[in-house]
Amino acid sequence: MNTTRNQPSARKFWSWFIPIGRQVGGWAFALNRITALGLTLYLFLHLIVLGLLAQGPGAYDKFLVLTENPFIKLGEWLVVVAAILHGLNGIRIVLTSFGVGVVRQRQLFYGFMIVAVFAILIFTARMY
């Protein structure tokens, strides 16, 4: 019996995130995984920043000055983009899990990604 198929490896780990050679559903799930990891990282960073409130107004004011940095602005933009993509893709997953649009998953994905592009453009215009 060949048990090497179930053994963990770095190659199998990275294939979980890389959708090259897969159909649209593979790309959708990879996008969901990547945005979920990004949003989880942001959650921890957000909790650290909230911890600055416990250090008093001076520490938080110093942080607010830092937020004017263009890299921080880019990071804020990426968080909102990830949230939009993850949320809309999650709605598609929920719909198909309940049997709605199972035969039209590709169209649902494309439709939600078009909505995501418009939402991202609107957010970008308002942010900058």
Overall pTM surpassing 0.95 (yes/no): no
Second-level CATH architecture of 24-127? Up-down Bundle (1.20)
**Is 61's pLDDT higher than 90?**
no
**Is 1's pLDDT higher than 60?**
no
Note whether 54 and 115 are within 8 A (CB).
Answer: no
Note whether 77 and 116 are within 8 A (CB).
Answer: no
pLDDT 10s digits, 81-96 = 999 999 999 999 999 8
